[in-house]
Structure 1
Amino acid sequence: MRRSSRLTEAERKLWDAFPTGRMVTFAPFESGPDCSAGANAPLDGHTWGPERTVRAEVIAKLLLGARETGTGTVPAVRLTGARITGPLEIVGGTVDHELVLHGCYLDDPVLMGGTTTRTIRLTDCRLPGFSGGGMRVAGHLSLSGSYVQGTVRVARAQFETGLWLAGTKVVAAEGDPAFYADAMVVDSVTHMRNADFSGAVRLVGARLNGGFQLDHAKLRNPGEEALVADGLVVEDSMSCTGDFLALGCLRLRGSRINGRFSLRGVVRSPDTTYALHASHIEAREFLIKPAERIDGVVTLAHSTVGTLHDDVATWPDKLRLNGLTYDRLRGHGFARRIEWVSRDPEGFRTQPYEQLADWYMRGGNDALARRTQLAKMRGLRGISGPRTRFWGRLLDATVGYGYRPWLAAVWFGALLVLGTVVFGLNPPRAVKPGESPVFDSFAYTFDLLLPLSTFGQRDQFDPAGWTQGLAYGLIISGWILATALIAGATRVLRPS
């Protein structure tokens, strides 16, 4: 197609530059020193005159092959500092050329749903939205540094060499998501470093094969879900570090991260069900060391983690760990883990204690494993009936449910001393004065405490007065200690 005489001077420049892919610069554009998201995108483009204005339909026609090109060159649309009027709409088409807009101002959204295209770069631009649901990009899509006043929609889209929203600012209309990418597939890195989203970021069922970078990003959707990524699959790592901020729930339910998940920023969502919803996930490593204590409820219920790196002090008071399994724990506060597994807002759960005790045992720390099992039994007692609670308290006081058998020795020793002193000062009378052996208060008390007489003193002497009550009490105490030892040993030897 020959160049149309109806093209403006600015459009003729683009038309002539297209066959060689030369950049057409209408005004110098340099990124300023402000590194905040979207800060360099022009906001005064609506005032630019016709000398730097290009209709979107001209760009669309060039991308769809309206301009004849020769051989030995790579045609492309490349513009800097232009105002684009009208919607840039290529829906369901096939584009064989690269589109590069830098420092441009777009009056209307970009519409590329279902399109098969090459690399698209809209960097440091201002635009009112991007719609690319189902598009196929043989290259990458970059909105880095741009200011989008609307929603970026790329659900079911596929990107071969990456998705770049580094330093992108997206402000969605109230109630709309800022980034909608359910079932998206990215075969290389998904880069959102320093991005700023006002509205939810949705990645339900997405697959990111080159990692997911959210370092220094800001996700703002207070009172709602800031990140919705149920069923997300990330190959390599997912990183939310630096001054990462989430105002709203981070929802990763059922996600699989075949590498490390890192959270080092700030998460605040006290008015949602969860601040961090990471139940039923799988991760090789799960590092959670936020800059401040997470504000809201956290759940890792029924998740499977290879190595859990954390700092116990940064977990919130309400923490669901029921069903969480891990191979290794790394971080501070190992001795505080018993309190860590007791924060379930729905009440006592046995599995977190058993998992922690198993990890202690595998690490050779038998003492902490016993303390954990003891804490579990005390927790069970709190949800038992009155009779079970009474028996539990007795077992706890005497032998620590079998995990502190030395307590029985302490009780036995204390009662032995008491009986030895009392019966030494108030000896019992002999049953058969002429035949009884010499009285020994120590042996006599020992016999009273044992279920079976050892020294023969118990049958030869009969206490009188108030010491008779003490003797009966020692006999009962001995039976209780013996029963508690047997019950405690059975509880330790039998799997809980």
Structure 2
Amino acid sequence: MEINDLTPAESRLWRAFASGTDVDFRAGGPTAADSDDPADGGTWGPERTVRASVLRSLLLDGPREEGRVAALSLAGARVTGRLDLQYATVDHPVRLRHCHFDEAPRFYGARLRELNLSESVLPGLISHAVRVEGVLRLTRARFDGMVRLAGAEITGSLYLEGTRIEAPDTEGPVLQLNQAVLGADLWAPGLSTRGPVRLTGASVTGTVNLRDARLDAAGGTALDAQNLVVGSGVGAACLRARGRVDFRGARVPGTLDLLHASLSSTGGTALRASSCVIGELWLRRGDRIEGALNLRRSQIDLLTLDTGKLPSEVYLGDLTYTALAPHEPAERRLPMLERDGDGFVPYAYEQLTASYRRIGDDDAARLVQLAKQRRRRRTLPWYGRLWGHLQDVAVGYGFRPLRAGGWLLSLLAVGSVAYGLHHPPPLKPAEAPDFNPVFYTLDLLLPVISFGQESAFAPEGGYQTLSYVLILMGWILATTVVAGVTRTVSRQ
């Protein structure tokens, strides 16, 4: 491009490029006035307008100055036409801040040193498979169309702090980062999107920061982060998401922080973190989750979960966690298992039991096991339910051993009084021992121990019926007590 074909604004930029000097067209300079809002850039005149073709010529074949680093550093300009750098290799930093773009830039397959579009207004960004040898800054930029960074390779960080993306007439994700590879962080606190965000298969060496982000995709998936791999953690405290948040198959060795997060997906799954490997999952404080919570098959070292945040439907099948916090009574944790959409899941009760035993709360562990037996009873046929009710009433399935002692003492008292008032006749009067109503009753109640009383005397009428009842109750109590002792021994 000939220098004579340039406008005064473009000539100024052309001269500054060789030395990397900043060019700022804003009326107030760095402290821009209201008229410098890039959203109004369509009204800016020729004094601050630059053609995209001029920018392309500078980046591909611009002037050089010996001893200086050439760079494109422009602020407060209106860029007309399409900045098309598809498959180009650009060795200079590209900084286009506070600018207004008439058309979406195209960096498909390009190789860039640095790209900074912070606080600019753009109708979109097409950068599939772009490679940036440094950082990509889109801080507080505003997009009225899709931002396409699928398959991007960024050796540094991607900055989306305070960025706003709205694409009301677009089908599909408004922010595409699927299969992207970031050598450092995805820094996006305060990100605001109207439409789905896709992070499927992305790899982030450092941290994903979505604190205070607002993701709105009502009726769809607000954040699709399936198979996301993070080197550190995901910070999403105070996240506001309308639509599904999906971390299925993600690998997060650090913390997945959802403190104070507001998750809502009416009629669907609000949070799916199934088949994940997570160091710590924090689901505490803030609004109750609206929609289902799915943690199936995940492995979590520390699950921090507030019972008040849980929705009415959860899925916990094959969920494994080492520790559960904060410590709460079993009565507050058990409703979580009752809400499982898969019905009775024995493994979920075993996990909760193990978490209580790990911290030495055996009473809570026994209560969870008792609740497990009662829940299982609902799945049995009528005769199994009947036997279960008997075990429950008698000794709480062996988890209430003191209750067995109370029943035994009560039955012993009844039998001792009844047979003490009416001695049963001996079978062989000459050989029978002296009758003792207490030991005779014990002989009936205890199925293994014999004191020689039961075999020597034969009650009649109603007293014989009483002996049958005592024998039957003795077997029930003995069976359930043995079952409880067996559980205790095997646990230890």
> TM-score, normalization: structure 2?
0.92
Instruction: Tell me, in whole angstroms, the C-alpha distance in 2 between the residues paired with 1:478 and 1:41.
Output: 87
Find out whether 1:333 has 2:332 as its counterpart: no
Native 8 Å contact 2:329 2:364 kept in 1: no
Alignment of 1:82-481 (within 5 A): 82-174=77-169, 175-241=171-237, 243-335=238-330, 336-429=332-425, 438-451=434-447, 454-481=450-477
Q: Which amino acid aligns with 2:163?
A: T
Question: SS of the residue aligned with 1:88?
Answer: coil
Q: Which amino acid aligns with 2:17?
A: F
1:172, distance to aligned residue in structure 2 (A): 1.6
1:15, distance to aligned residue in structure 2 (A): 0.8
1:12, distance to aligned residue in structure 2 (A): 0.8
Instruction: Tell me, in whole angstroms, the C-alpha distance in 1 between the residues paired with 2:242 and 2:286.
Output: 14
Native 8 Å contact 2:218 2:265 kept in 1: no
Partner of 1:37: none
What's the % identity of the aligned pairs? Answer: 39
Instruction: Tell me, in whole angstroms, the C-alpha distance in 2 between the residues paired with 1:394 and 1:291.
Output: 43
CA RMSD of aligned residues (A): 2.4
Q: Structure 2, unaligned stretches of length 5 or more?
A: none
Instruction: Tell me, in whole angstroms, the C-alpha distance in 1 between the residues paired with 2:109 and 2:426.
Output: 105
Q: Which amino acid aligns with 2:130?
A: M
Instruction: Tell me, in whole angstroms, the C-alpha distance in 1 between the residues paired with 2:181 and 2:267.
Output: 29
> TM-score, normalization: structure 1?
0.92
Native 8 Å contact 1:216 1:244 kept in 2: yes
Instruction: Tell me, in whole angstroms, the C-alpha distance in 2 between the residues paired with 1:244 and 1:487.
Output: 48
* 1:416-470 residue CA offsets vs partner (Å, 9 max, x unmatched): 1122233334444555667755543323322222236744333444444433322
Native 8 Å contact 1:248 1:267 kept in 2: no
Question: SS of the residue aligned with 1:15?
Answer: helix
Partner of 1:5: 4
1:488, distance to aligned residue in structure 2 (A): 4.6
Change in CA separation of 1:30 and 1:19 when aligned onto 2, cut-off 3 Å: closer
* 1:215-249 residue CA offsets vs partner (Å, 9 max, x unmatched): 111011011100001110011111001x3201111
Change in CA separation of 1:86 and 1:171 when aligned onto 2, cut-off 3 Å: same
1:369, distance to aligned residue in structure 2 (A): 2.3
Instruction: Tell me, in whole angstroms, the C-alpha distance in 2 between the residues paired with 1:315 and 1:246.
Output: 16
Change in CA separation of 1:151 and 1:389 when aligned onto 2, cut-off 3 Å: same
Which sits farther off after the overlay, 107-116 or 339-348?
Answer: 339-348
Native 8 Å contact 1:41 1:146 kept in 2: no
* 1:460-488 residue CA offsets vs partner (Å, 9 max, x unmatched): 44444433322221122223323333455
* 1:2-47 residue CA offsets vs partner (Å, 9 max, x unmatched): x42121111111111111111111122557899xxxxx95221111
Q: How many residues align?
A: 487
Q: Which amino acid aligns with 1:124?
A: E
* 1:171-208 residue CA offsets vs partner (Å, 9 max, x unmatched): 02343312001100110111101110111110110001
Partner of 2:14: 15
Change in CA separation of 1:272 and 1:97 when aligned onto 2, cut-off 3 Å: farther
1:308, distance to aligned residue in structure 2 (A): 1.6
Change in CA separation of 1:205 and 1:453 when aligned onto 2, cut-off 3 Å: closer
Change in CA separation of 1:17 and 1:177 when aligned onto 2, cut-off 3 Å: same
1:212, distance to aligned residue in structure 2 (A): 0.5
